[in-house]
Amino acid sequence: MEEKTYKNRGDMVFETLKREILDLELKPGQAISENEICERFGVSRTPVRDALRRLQEQDFVESIPYGGTYVTLLNLSNIKQMIYMRVAVELMVMGDFMEIATPMMMEEIRYMIRKQGALILEPGFEPEQFYRLDAEMHAIWFAATDKMKIWELVQAQQLHYTRFRMLDFVTETDFTRIIKEHNQLFELLKKKDKEGLEKALKEHLFYSMHRMKHTIEVDCKDYFVQ
């Protein structure tokens, strides 16, 4: 894999910490030490403070006067609203996709689902790998209908939802269920069954909210704004 290049050290620290927050390597509520970051990246305080400032501007971290810097907590209300918005937007996009989908486009979706199935057979696969493939599959119908700007906007606003989905994947033991749902979406697209698709997509995107009730209320209670 080609190593990513950065414009400057502050950019490197910012992008790395941002990815680690989204992937839950840095947990919601976790304290971030300037000294530790300086030592880890071999940089001075200036690029570290620049990176933390940018992260704070984008709501990835919060700084408490005389209290330190912490990864922001997950906001359950924001997550529910993001799912609601995504269902509404994605249903319209998938409806448009049904009307223009070619056999090659459909095969691209089928191939992505097969890759997901192959991934979960790999020993020690990481949840973020599955998350990436999941996102790539959903992006197919946005790209095919020339709606990638909408997809990028949806992704950019998912600070809380992206981390929630990652928490879902980290705690999910039955990835075959998710793949089964993806196959169901594929079949409904192929049949151009808009009514069935609406029901299936809602269940697919809202399922984690129900499945993770105990995780939200008990196991990972400290990850969420109370």
Span 66-116, pLDDT tens digits: 889 999 999 999 899 988 999 999 999 999 999 999 999 999 999 999 999
pLDDT for 166 equals 85
What is the domain partition of the chain in residue ranges?
9-71, 76-223
Please answer whether residues 188 and 200 qualify as being in contact, where contact means their C-beta atoms are separated by less than 8 angstroms. yes
pLDDT for 1 equals 38
Where does residue 147 fall: left (phi above 0), alpha (psi -120 to 50 degrees), or beta otherwise?
A: alpha
**Whole-number Cα distances in Å, 3 to 6, 10, 12, 51, 175:** 10, 17, 12, 20, 30
Please answer whether residues 145 and 100 qualify as being in contact, where contact means their C-beta atoms are separated by less than 8 angstroms. yes
Q: Quickly name the fold that domain 9-71 has.
A: Arc Repressor Mutant, subunit A (1.10.10)
- Computed over every residue of the chain, the mean pLDDT equals 91
Q: Quickly name the fold that domain 76-223 has.
A: Four Helix Bundle (Hemerythrin (Met), subunit A) (1.20.120)
pLDDT for 6 equals 66
pLDDT for 156 equals 76
pTM confidence score: 0.81
For residue 110, which of 175, 174, 190, 178 has the smallest C-alpha distance?
190
User: Would the pLDDT of 52 be above 80?
Assistant: yes
pLDDT digits (tens, 9 = 90+) for 1-21: 334 666 688 899 999 999 999
Mean pLDDT of 184-200: 96
Mean pLDDT of 183-207: 94
